[in-house]
Amino acid sequence: MAITLNSGFKMPMIGLGVWRMEGKDIKILILNAIKIGYRHFDCAADYKNEEEVGEALAEVFQAGLVKREDLFITTKLWNSDHGHVAEACKDSLKKLRLDYLDLYLVHFPVATRHTGVGTTASALGEDGVLDIDTTVSLETTWHAMEDLVSMGLVRSIGISNYDIFLTRDCLAYARVKPAVNQIETHPYFQRDSLVKFCQKHGVCVTAHTPLGGATANTEWFGSVSCLDDPVLKGLAKKYNKTVAQIVLRWGIQRNTVIIPKSSKVERLEENFLVFDFELTKEDMDFIRTIDRNYRTNQPAKFWGIDLYA
């Protein structure tokens, strides 16, 4: 199941996010995911595992499990590389061992002090606060992203973690419209207005953290997971599915692309089995009632400044 982007390319509705995946596990993870049926992999320079992903992709291509054109590969421009977009993209391509990317995203709508292409440091000042570069505008970054399309390095370009106003501005100055806005959204953080705005203007929404972060974000940010919500547990029992499958199905029925993360084969399989049932309109509406406007991914913990404040 895929969605057609405004660039004309098709993007699988479910992908595998590789954030916080250790290098040694990547090869087995991608191999198992491809065998299960995953064809969409969501990467980022900041995840610091593009080289390992590239090794894994090279092996599956060589083994004939899939061809390059069968896969949809996303990666992202880090904050410290906004003034070095082409170099950063080429660095990611080299690490991933690819000739082109299916999708390249601006990871966060903020440019920070340059620390060297591909280093993805948080660029903190002596005061422990993020060093934001006020000389590089998001418009300048976006036009450099557009150049990647004309250079043939990238098929589609997009944004990530942009709110309505920043998305609107990007649409105003874009020569090539953003194909995707990747944002945190799940039943506890539904962001219905942002999702509707993007979709109304032809921008596909990809839901990162589609399960509310679960264990990973609880460990890092002390957040609460929606997977423990009694409403979702009740629906899981009604449909004879896991809570995670209910949440992912809800995301798909919102017409958002979902990229759940897991390093366990049984979870990879579970997360992929969400196309054999459908939530009723009443149950979709029921899930709307549990929205808490609750963000679980909080980079302020590392940056000393809350960009969402």
Say which CATH number the domain at 184 has.
3.20.20.100
- Residues facing 101 on adjacent strands: 154
- Which pairs from 1-9 meet CB under 8 Å and 24+ separation? 1/252, 1/275, 3/204, 3/255, 3/257, 5/156, 5/179, 5/180, 5/204, 6/177, 6/179, 6/202, 6/203, 6/204, 7/155, 7/156, 7/176, 7/179, 9/102, 9/155, 9/156, 9/179
Confidence of residue 297 (pLDDT cuts 50, 70, 90): confident
Confidence of residue 221 (pLDDT cuts 50, 70, 90): low
The residues annotated with a catalytic role in the active site are: 47
* From 56-65, 109-118, 202-211, 291-300, the region with the lowest mean pLDDT: 291-300
Confidence at residue 19, expressed as pLDDT on a 0 to 100 scale: 82
Task: Report yes or no on 191 lying in a domain.
Answer: yes
Confidence of residue 214 (pLDDT cuts 50, 70, 90): low
Task: Report yes or no on 5 lying in a domain.
Answer: no
Confidence at residue 165, expressed as pLDDT on a 0 to 100 scale: 97
Is residue 215 over pLDDT 70? no
Task: Report yes or no on 3 lying in a domain.
Answer: no
Does residue 252 contact residue 274 with C-beta atoms inside 8 Å?
yes
Domain limits at 242? 10-303
pTM of the model: 0.95
Share of the chain above pLDDT 70, in %: 95
Tokens of 305: 């400044």
Confidence of residue 301 (pLDDT cuts 50, 70, 90): confident
Confidence at residue 212, expressed as pLDDT on a 0 to 100 scale: 84
For residue range 129-168, list pLDDT tens digits in order: 999 999 999 999 999 999 999 999 999 999 999 999 999 9
Is residue 222 over pLDDT 70? no
Confidence at residue 65, expressed as pLDDT on a 0 to 100 scale: 95
Task: Report yes or no on 204 lying in a domain.
Answer: yes
Confidence of residue 300 (pLDDT cuts 50, 70, 90): confident
Confidence at residue 79, expressed as pLDDT on a 0 to 100 scale: 96
Task: Report yes or no on 309 lying in a domain.
Answer: no
Angle between the N-to-C axes of helices 23-36 and 265-272, in degrees from 0 to 180, rounded to the nearest 10: 40
Is residue 220 over pLDDT 80? no
Confidence at residue 218, expressed as pLDDT on a 0 to 100 scale: 61
For residue range 166-200, list pLDDT tens digits in order: 999 999 999 999 999 999 999 999 999 999 999 99
Highest mean pLDDT among 24-38, 139-153, 250-264: 139-153
Average pLDDT of the residues in 249-253: 98
Confidence at residue 167, expressed as pLDDT on a 0 to 100 scale: 98
Task: Report yes or no on 199 lying in a domain.
Answer: yes
Task: Report yes or no on 4 lying in a domain.
Answer: no
Give the angle subtended at the CA of 108 by the CAs of 106 and 114, to the nearest 5°: 85
* From 27-36, 211-220, 235-244, the region with the lowest mean pLDDT: 211-220
Q: Is residue 107 marked as binding?
A: yes
Number of domains comprising the chain: 1
Tokens of 71: 């896969």
The three state secondary structure string of the chain is: CEEECCCCCEEECECEECCCCCHHHHHHHHHHHHHHCCCEEECCHHHCCHHHHHHHHHHHHHCCCCCHHHCEEEEEECHHHCCCHHHHHHHHHHHHCCCCEEEEEECCCCCECCCCCCCCCCCECCCCCECECCCCCHHHHHHHHHHHHHCCCEEEEEEECCCHHHHHHHHHHCCCCCCEEEEECECCECCHHHHHHHHHCCCEEEEECCCCCHHHHHHHHCCCCHHHCHHHHHHHHHHCCCHHHHHHHHHHHCCCEECCCCCCHHHHHHHHCCCCCCCCHHHHHHHHCCCCCCCCCCCHHHHCCCCCC
Alpha carbons 10 and 98: distance in angstroms, whole number: 18
Task: Report yes or no on 1 lying in a domain.
Answer: no
Confidence at residue 299, expressed as pLDDT on a 0 to 100 scale: 85
